[in-house]
Amino acid sequence: MKQDTKLIALGRAPVRAQGPVNLPVHRASTILSEHLHGYLHRFDGDNRYDNVTYGATGTQNARALAEAVAAIEGGHRTVVTGSGLSAVTMAISAVVSAGDHVLVPDSVYGPARRFCVGVLGRYGVRTSFYDPGMGADVARAMRDDTRLVYTEAPGSLTFEMQDVPAIARAAHERGALVAMDNTWATPIYFRPIEHGVDISIQAGTKYLAGHSDLVIGMITTATDALFRAIADQAHAFGDAASPDDCFLALRGMRSLSVRLERQSASALKVVRWLEARPEVKRVLYPALESDPGHALWKRDFAGAASLFGLALHTTDEAAVARMVDGLDLFRIGSSWGGYESLIACNRMPIARDVVPWTETPFLLRVHIGLEDPDDLITDLEEGFARLGA
């Protein structure tokens, strides 16, 4: 089955039965057992993973979403979590123990960095950071106790690409696992497991849900052992997504591919226009030929999401505030992947351990939604006029 058909056909109510097209919302804490024997053995063996046994360990809606996402990811099975961040923290913490070492790219999503250093550090797991530009050379940063090499491409805020297949080969040669935060590309444009990754993480909050109205996460694994370890971890921590959010995520998933196609085309149009503007120092977007990560992106990715970084020549924050505050279509906000355009501003440099970030004092982050790109360009053009005013 082709990817676009999977988005439509999977995770539905039984198709031939008389009833609604979509699986109804099963709101539940208690799941009743038919008899005492069934109750006593409800978590035995595979029951805990396969059956609906308790609200917090997965309703019918979570199961349907997980099944669809696993197929789209080309993975074994998927654990649905309460947020994108909990997908990151459950995936990492499920596979490490005290005494282990984790390697994380310097460009990683900030809260993931804080989790590794702050929380895992307290539990005796050490984290060190590596240059996201390292491919096979990541082996040099590995130690005998390295259990996990984490990846995220492109990196949060700074958009560096990573050579994921080379990193996966190097990590596996030394006996480590590989996880990837693939929220930017989604499995429509990059399928981590097909490129050697063991654990694929997605903040479904962004493009998959697509309407800026829920938080949810997904972890898809290459093997059954990893699926069980991560599902057990999520259950142990009581991490769960609500059935309503699973329903909405599945509804968003139906249009994921067409939204991405349109948003990606609009982003490229806006980005090319921005590149030619005198106010713009640099656009950070791997789909651009001028981007340092372009060759890797072109080799491995089937498309580009509609989120990019924007460095301006001006260092005058008040001028940037005049520009941004007056925008009509671009609203100020930090989540992304919805149907609407957004702009955010981050003070730089952000925390870095091995590759200092030299572009200062701030970096804009732009998300292109489903509006007509010409209107978005007009909005930005008027913004640039305020910048110089």
* Closest distance to ligand PLP from the beta carbon of 180 (Å): 10
* Closest distance to ligand PLP from the beta carbon of 364 (Å): 15
Nearer to ligand PLP, 139 or 179 (CB): 179
Nearer to ligand PLP, 83 or 263 (CB): 83
What residues line the site for ligand PLP (CB under 6 A)? 83-85, 88, 109, 156, 181, 183, 203, 205, 215, 217, 335
Nearer to ligand PLP, 88 or 102 (CB): 88
In a 3-state reduction of DSSP, which class is residue 213?
coil
* Closest distance to ligand PLP from the beta carbon of 305 (Å): 10
* Closest distance to ligand PLP from the beta carbon of 374 (Å): 28
| 198 closest CA partner among 147, 143, 131 | 147
How far from 383 is each of 279, 343, 378, 386, CA to CA, in Å? 11, 12, 8, 5
Strands 331-332 and 342-347: parallel
How far from 357 is each of 8, 161, 299, CA to CA, in Å? 42, 15, 26
- Closest-by-Cβ residue to ligand PLP is 84
* Closest distance to ligand PLP from the beta carbon of 103 (Å): 18
* Closest distance to ligand PLP from the beta carbon of 215 (Å): 4
Nearer to ligand PLP, 58 or 82 (CB): 82
* Closest distance to ligand PLP from the beta carbon of 342 (Å): 11
Sheet with 126-130, strands from edge to edge, namely: 77-81, 217-221, 199-203, 177-181, 146-152, 101-105, 126-130
DSSP 192: G
Nearer to ligand PLP, 83 or 266 (CB): 83
Residue type, 359: E
Nearer to ligand PLP, 53 or 86 (CB): 86
Cα(63)–Cα(345) distance, rounded to whole angstroms?
37
Nearer to ligand PLP, 51 or 335 (CB): 335
Q: Quickly list DSSP for 13-69.
A: S-TTSSS-SSPPP---S----SSHHHHHTTTSTTHHHHS---GGG--HHHHHHHHHH
Q: Quickly list DSSP for 94-152.
A: HH--TT-EEEEETT--HHHHHIIIIIIHHTT-EEEEE-TT-STTHHHH--TTEEEEEEE
Nearer to ligand PLP, 72 or 139 (CB): 72
377 touches 272 (CB < 8 A): no
In a 3-state reduction of DSSP, which class is residue 344?
strand
Cα(340)–Cα(266) distance, rounded to whole angstroms?
12
* Closest distance to ligand PLP from the beta carbon of 109 (Å): 4
Nearer to ligand PLP, 212 or 257 (CB): 212
| Cβ partners under 8 Å of residue 242, min gap 6 | 82
* Closest distance to ligand PLP from the beta carbon of 213 (Å): 12
* Closest distance to ligand PLP from the beta carbon of 155 (Å): 9
Main-chain dihedrals φ then ψ at residue 98, nearest 5 degrees: -55, 135
Q: CA-CA-CA-CA torsion for 355, 356, 362, 364, nearest 10 degrees?
A: -10
Nearer to ligand PLP, 62 or 215 (CB): 215
